[in-house]
Copies of this chain bind each other. A is one copy, B any other.
Amino acid sequence: MPKRVDHTQRRIEIAEALIRVAGRRGLHAVGMRDVAAEADVSLRLVQYYFETKEKLLLFGLQLLAERFGERVAARVTAAEADPSPRATVEALLMAALPTDEESRTFHLLYTSYAVLAVTDQALAAQPFVRDPDAAEDALTKLLRQAQGAGLLSPGANPRLEAVTLLAMSAGLGTSVLVGQRGPEAAAEVLHHQLDRIFQESDHSSRM
């Protein structure tokens, strides 16, 4: 048999090129030829590994979500060195803000995909909802643990707070993306909200 190439690896390389060029010029502006040029391969090769553009986009979305999930997971894991549950929660939420170029690209492209999914059924069939739900579950779990440790303000509803925090984080992320405010300002808002939920200090009863 002829030269064997790891298809999956090649597909990843090409999809990474897609993500790069889309992050620069916008998802709407990227064509097959742009991806080929960015990946430094021929147009035919892009067609070879992804028969159609739609499949390329789907794979790109998948890869994007995967990569970002890993990024968040890594930060959360790193934060778990800190015994404080709040640090973990904070790491999770902050990782979602478009602070550096990588997260900025993620935010931009994920939003682009989401907008497309509203009117494109092929994208809508993709697990767009699954990832946010996973984040919701993970955050809820963290909050529940904190609640078990008596760190949460009384009467807090972990799931509700998780939804609230994630919605805030997403909204703040978008506002940062469009330049309405800087990442620091967004972080501050998040921080303040965490202060409210993790009401550890002003509990004067120590018996």
Q: Does A201 contact B (CB under 8 A)?
A: no
Report how far A28 CA is from B118 CA in the complex, Å.
Answer: 12
Residue of B nearest to A120 (CB): B26
Q: Does A51 contact B (CB under 8 A)?
A: no
Q: Would you give the 0/1 interface string for A82-104, flagging 1 where the beta carbon is closer than 8 Å to chain B?
A: 00000000000000000000000
Which of A58-66, A69-77, A158-166 touches B? A158-166
Q: Does A189 contact B (CB under 8 A)?
A: yes
Please state if A29 and B133 are interface contacts (CB–CB under 8 Å): no
Report how far A48 CA is from B151 CA in the complex, Å.
Answer: 64
Indicate which residue in B164, B177, B179 contacts A168 across the interface (CB closer than 8 Å): B164
Q: Does A171 contact B (CB under 8 A)?
A: yes
Q: Which residues of B contact A175 (CB under 8 A)?
A: 132, 167, 170
Q: Does A78 contact B (CB under 8 A)?
A: no
Report how far A193 CA is from B179 CA in the complex, Å.
Answer: 26
Report how far A40 CA is from B189 CA in the complex, Å.
Answer: 48
Please state if B180 and A129 are interface contacts (CB–CB under 8 Å): yes
Further 9 A-B residue pairs, CB within 8 A, beyond A129-B180, A164-B193: A108-B119, A111-B115, A115-B115, A132-B180, A160-B192, A167-B172, A167-B189, A169-B171, A171-B171
A-B complex: 8 closest residue pairs judged by Cβ atoms:
A167-B171, A26-B119, A171-B171, A170-B171, A167-B172, A168-B168, A167-B168, A129-B180
30 A-B residue pairs with CB within 8 Å = A26-B119, A26-B120, A108-B118, A111-B111, A111-B114, A111-B115, A111-B174, A112-B115, A114-B178, A117-B178, A118-B178, A124-B179, A128-B178, A128-B180, A132-B175, A133-B180, A157-B192, A164-B189, A164-B192, A164-B193, A167-B168, A167-B171, A168-B168, A168-B171, A169-B171, A170-B170, A170-B171, A171-B171, A171-B174, A196-B196
